[in-house]
Structure 1
Amino acid sequence: MWSWSFTWSILPAILQAIQTTIAATVAGFLLALIGGLLLAFGRRAKNRALSWSAAGFIEFVRSTPLLVQLYFLFYGLPAVGISLSPFTSGVLGLGVHYSCYLSEVYRSGIDAVPRGQWEAARALNFSRGQTWLRIILPQAIRPVVPVLGNYLIVMFKETPILSAITLVEMLAAAKIIGAESFRYLEAFTLVGLLFLLLSYVSSVFIKKLELTWNKQ
């Protein structure tokens, strides 16, 4: 049976754990945004060694499970003298894993920019950096904002996997509460509702951002 008194008593612990969930999501997504753009540049590089290396890395990461990558970072790297905290390993794992997906999103946006824009930049004697920053990237990123936002929400919902490397996020906190009290219903329900609420708020924010950019 549902117990409201028990629900209110465990709510502070769940809310405390949600801070870790949000922090890991935001930090991982920022890393993925930057890493994805760098990989997209690498894949478009004229240097074949760099282009093939970037393409190979992207395919390797996308073809292996995130859980295996997290295990490698947290349990494997100490074997070669590199020890990372659960939070750092989680952020790095999420960031690297999703940067490979975001690189393809960026690539599709860049490929959609009309060739005339590149020619116009050359005609105006823009440097390579000016061409990317002032002309190409603003046009390439704007249409892919909804896809980037979807990956943010997916990453947020993937954070429970971080409990596998001992990071106490929302779901891990709910499991601990259930193991101590033998009451799982309230804890898991709270976690599910919080995931739903934050995912919905994120989707609304992304939609407003998309509409705002389209008006400019």
Structure 2
Amino acid sequence: MNWSWDYVSEITPSLLQGLLVTVQITLISSVVAMAVGLFFAIAKMSANRWISRIAVMVTEAIRRTPLLVQLYFLFYVLPDIGIVLSPLVAGIVGLGLHYATYVSEVYRAGLINVPKGQWEAARACNLTGRQTWTQIILPQAIPPMIPPLGNYVIAMFKETPILSAITVLDIMGEALAQANFSYRYLEPITLVATGFLFVSLCSAAVIRLLENQLNLRAA
């Protein structure tokens, strides 16, 4: 197999478009994971046993089943009951919900690490539940969570190629489309690997920089 720079220049625009879709999916899925993960974490810590048990059961069910199976369920099974999702939406929902179960544990660990005295001080000041969470607890709990949350965002980015199984034209989907059309796999797959490596390294550097800034502030 010979490397062809002409073929590389021909397929690069499509792969760059696919990379933009991949980044878009990662960012939106991350927002979904962060929001739903926080909901799961608060539900798990609820004083109501039924709420906490249901939250644990739901998160464990999602975590213990493969992401690919969940994507197939969202894209191929839900239409049988009248719920039709586009490949992009199904991918975002599936990826976001799957990683929300892991993010919830990061949130829960961060919330548990907030000293009990802070909760007692909030009650002593007659703060409402909402004020306690938004003004006292979350501002202290979130900064230590940023490094592990950032690592999960990178993990989600590296997981996006699996979305090509439900016809999402991300960078992997575009690469497979080009490769299947020309029967040349060396260039597109190599470019995909290079793209993932470049973005992952840049993201890791940003996370380390942010972590260092947080450590300096804490010191």
Residue 65 of structure 2 aligns with an amino acid whose one-letter code is T
Q: How does 1:1-216 map to 2 (within 5 A)?
A: 1-216=2-217
2:168 counterpart SS class: coil
Query: Following the alignment from structure 1 to structure 2, what is the Cα–Cα distance between the partners of residues 44 and 32?
Result: 18
CA distance in 1, matches of 2:112, 2:91: 32
Cα distance per residue 1:60-111 (max 9 Å; x no partner): 0000000010000000000101100000000000111111110011001111
1:111-168 Cα shifts (integer Å, max 9, x gaps) = 1111111112222222211111122112212112111011000000000100111111
Mean Cα displacement is larger for which, 139-148 or 203-212? 203-212
Mapped to 1, the partners of 2:175 and 2:17 lie a distance apart of 11
Aligned residues: 216
In 2, Cα distance between equivalents of 1:123 and 1:206: 37
**CA deviation string 1:16-71 (max 9, x = no partner):** 11111111111111000000000111111112211111110011000000001000
CA distance in 2, matches of 1:17, 1:79: 29
**Aligned AA for 2:45?**
R
Q: Which runs of 4+ in 1 moved over 6 A?
A: none
Alignment gaps of 5+ in structure 2:
none
- The code of the aligned residue for 2:162 comes to I
- Secondary structure of the structure 2 residue equivalent to 1:202: helix
TM-score (norm 2): 0.95
Identity of aligned residues (%): 50
Structure 2: which amino acid aligns with 1:67? Answer: L
Find the residue that maps to 1:189 and give its secondary structure: helix
TM-score by length of structure 1 reads 0.96
Q: Measure, in 1, the Cα distance between the counterparts of 2:15 and 2:39.
A: 36
Q: Deviations over 1:162-214 (max 9, x none)?
A: 01111111112111111111211111111111101111111122222223333
Secondary structure in 2 matching 1:82:
coil
How far has the Cα of 1:215 moved from its partner?
3.6
Secondary structure of 1:99 counterpart: helix
Structure 2 Cα separation of the partners of residues 36 and 79 of structure 1: 28
Alignment gaps of 5+ in structure 1:
none
